[in-house]
Structure 1
């Protein structure tokens, strides 16, 4: 695609409409005539502000995107754009106390159940359902929180904090860093009153990951290391939740250190994570984040790949078994690391098969990952035809 700003308004509208929405469908959704949509896409005549607003709303985007002032997220489907808009509205409206519900907000028990579904849906990568669940918990939970006292208020604070963390992680996965930081800011405001050190640690882990995705590697290491030092356990006495969160933070620090090509620090952090995992003895989940022997092993593979030790990565992968209980997104993120290592080892057919597995298992999530494109470019050096075939199979443009 050409530079977004260099396209005409009509070409931008046509691109945003995509193949999953007809011109008539857009006209119906926007409440305008078919003739107006046709003229708009052909750049015949000027669109009024009202028409622009209606078209932007129907396309689940902003007027600024149609006008070329902002660039849309590459590969984002119409449904995902709608989910992102819903997520953004929920984060900001809940922070501002703007809920227009008529009935009483859901009870603590109902919101807790919805939060559990948020966790499960996030790890499946189903953004439409996820955004609806997050919106419910944040909007109704914020109203209920304002009315609650004592234990109920404390529990609601934890539910809201965790849900804001999921909203932040989802926004970052979809390329919306500012929204991710806004959601995390709201989480921090709530966690201050929770008195839960482990809940604070989850927020810090999320912030470290945001810094890493934003190429702020030094900050990513510092945040994870600082948070880990606050909850550093005694391996013989500490409760399991503390071991889990400490190990998770050590992994965050190790991953970030590997991205700045610091193998000594990465190995040191990773050894601490393995120690915590060994003490736990099994994979567990807390506050929506998981850790244990499997997680430590799969992350060790990714760290080896980042440090350029592809042979080591493949040896580690050969000794790693993935349990059925492993969350879908964690499983597929690991497989992308394996596929990259396979490429570097010139195991191109195996790398292609691994990439196809990921694309078929998590079709929406994979569109928002950088590694498939990197892997695609490696494979294209051997066969561009094979890469184009993979692109068609998984619905992701891997090469231009």
Structure 2
């Protein structure tokens, strides 16, 4: 266990605040009360996910860092630092056109196959392998793109844009917001050049998520809503990719609205997502983005949890089936929502079991998530010994 994870949450907040920012200054920057900031640094009371997001944004860090699951960048694991550096080099060098390979870059068909592996690796939460694959597509693909014309150039542009999107998503999970935005900027330029409206819409869904992770909730809602209006389908005659992109954007808007407690808006957006999912009739994926009835149902559980309606969340979960083909990360993100709801209604044994399931299924990914720490703190009120055992089993510090 690292020195950082040995600190209490309050001490971590105080350390991140430093001597240049007063408690009042932190309160002003977050929009939280001075009393709440003082209590947080004194480890008195629980911090909501919303408050944690605001603190992370004001302190220019990630929620996982505040909770001790992930150290500040200088204290990141060697594997995580390597993945971040490789992603950063690939994103920036490809944008600058600096491939130093020997011979010809990979063909379109080869790059397309590697892109498929990028999708699969991202959804398995393997960031080291992902960074290697992303680097190959971006560096060689950018060189090939500069030489290509016509249809091949359009298709390469879409593959590159999608790969930048995965790089962006991985970067934000690793706490690298600036890198995430840089990758997404390149993705948006390529999507615009390729004229791919569906891909452009899916990129806005990622931007909404980045804003949400940065506690810019109103902006997260606005980005998703504007993009959805641009691609809003006619449900009687619309392409399936268009329905998928619209549904995913409605989910993004619903999730963001739920984080600010806007129940009417969250319900309205979620209703639109369910309508798009029903029209699709089955789960599908476009450019590695998944949507369909399963996503609409599982996201509804997470939205209910965010709104504090834990009974509704568990009722929805009891009627939700997870298909075997569901991406690993999506499945485990949903299970964390279920575990939080179980914990909130006193089903502590079930919550603990669910948390262990997630940790064993996605050990690398779970280290970069905030909810395990939130769940662990609540379980510790019942049994700190059990939480220590869970921490040992899943390799994540859950106790401050």
TM-score (norm 2): 0.82
Give the 3-state SS of the residue equivalent to 2:343 in structure 1.
helix
Task: Give, in angstroms, the shift of residue 190 of structure 1.
Answer: 1.1
3-state SS, counterpart of residue 290 of structure 1: strand
Paired residue for 2:17?
A: none
Q: Secondary structure at the match of 2:360?
A: helix
Residue 100 of structure 2 aligns to a residue whose secondary structure is coil
Structure 2 partner of 1:300: 300
Question: How far did residue 191 of structure 1 move?
Answer: 1.4
How far the C-alpha of 1:77 sits from its partner, in A, is 3.0
Gaps of 5+ in 2: 6-70
Q: CA–CA distance in 2 between the matches of 1:325 and 1:3?
A: 37
Tell me if structure 2 keeps the 8 A contact 1:336–1:358: yes
Q: How many residues align?
A: 335
- 1:291 is aligned to 291
Q: Describe the superposition over 1:292-338 as per-residue Cα deviations: whole angstroms up to 9, x where unpaired.
A: 00100000000000000000000000000000000000000000000
Q: How does 1:1-400 map to 2 (within 5 A)?
A: 72-73=72-73, 76-400=76-400
Provide the secondary structure at the position in 2 that maps to 1:193: helix
Return the alpha-carbon distance in structure 2 between the equivalents of residues 268 and 349 of structure 1: 34
- Cα-Cα RMSD: 1.5
Query: Aligned in 2, Cα 1:172/1:146: closer, same or farther, shift over 3 Å?
Result: same
| Deviation per residue, 1:317-369 (Å, 9 max, x gap) | 00000000000000000000000000000000000000000000000000000
Specify the structure having the higher radius of gyration (Cα): 1
SS at match of 2:290: strand
Using a 3 Å threshold, how does the CA distance of structure 1 residues 2 and 78 change in structure 2: closer, same or farther? Answer: closer
Deviations, residues 229-271 of structure 1 (Å, cap 9, x unaligned): 0111111211111111100000000000000000000000000
SS at match of 2:232: coil
1:207 to partner: Cα distance: 0.2
Q: What's the secondary structure of 2:194's corresponding residue?
A: coil
Distance in 2, Cα, partners of 1:267 & 1:163: 32
Partner Cα separation in structure 1 for residue 224 and residue 76 of structure 2: 30
Give the C-alpha shift of residue 72 in structure 1.
3.2
Secondary structure of residue in 2 paired with 1:326: coil
Distance 1:223 1:240 in 2: 22
Counterpart CA distance in 1 for 2:120 and 2:260 is 32
TM-fit CA distance, 1:2 = 5.8
How many angstroms does 1:115 deviate by?
0.5
TM-score normalized with structure 1 length: 0.82
Structure 1 pair 363–374 and aligned structure 2 pair: CA distance change class (3 A): same
Q: Structure 2: how far apart are the matches of 1:390 and 1:86?
A: 32
CA contact (8 A) 1:75 1:367 kept: no
